[in-house]
Amino acid sequence: MKTKLLFTLLLGGLWGVGAGEQTAVTANATNRFKITGMHCDGCAGGLTAELKETRGVVRAQVTFANRLAVVAYDTNRISAAQLVATIKKAGYTAQPVRP
């Protein structure tokens, strides 16, 4: 029992998952955001990576050509307003695109 607990704690520490925290995140919302301030495909790639590392984000794809971010996320962990704030912190502005 101690070995299993130690392994769980070590594995959780390596992967940034605390004891009792679920590792599977299910998207229950997908939003599109118009992004301004990008200058190249590298900007889009960097922002995609930043969003993917954000807690609650399940999938993210940012494209420079159409200046659009499509983000699937768990609304129990993050809100659309928090996604906009994350994008702003990365140096860009985001405006939700209404369907």
74-82: list long-range contacts, CB under 8 Å, 24+ apart: 74/25, 74/26, 74/27, 74/28, 74/29, 75/28, 75/29, 76/28, 77/25, 78/54, 80/29, 80/31
**Percent of the chain predicted with pLDDT > 70:** 75
- Whole-structure pTM value: 0.73
Q: Backbone phi, then psi, for 32, in 5-degree steps?
A: -115, 140
- 72 inside domain: yes
**Percent of the chain predicted with pLDDT > 90:** 71
Count up the domains in the chain and report the number: 1
Average model confidence (pLDDT) for the chain? 83
- Decide which of 38 and 27 is more confident: 38
Residue whose tokens read 């790639």: 45
- 17 inside domain: no
Question: Is residue 6 helix, strand or coil?
Answer: helix
Least Cα distance to 17 among 50, 25, 51 occurs for 25
* pLDDT of amino acid 7: 37
**Domain membership of residue 72 as a residue range:** 23-97
- CATH code, 53: 3.30.70.100
- 32 inside domain: yes
Give pLDDT tens digits for 65-93.
Answer: 999 999 999 999 999 999 999 999 999 99
* pLDDT of amino acid 24: 67
- 44 inside domain: yes
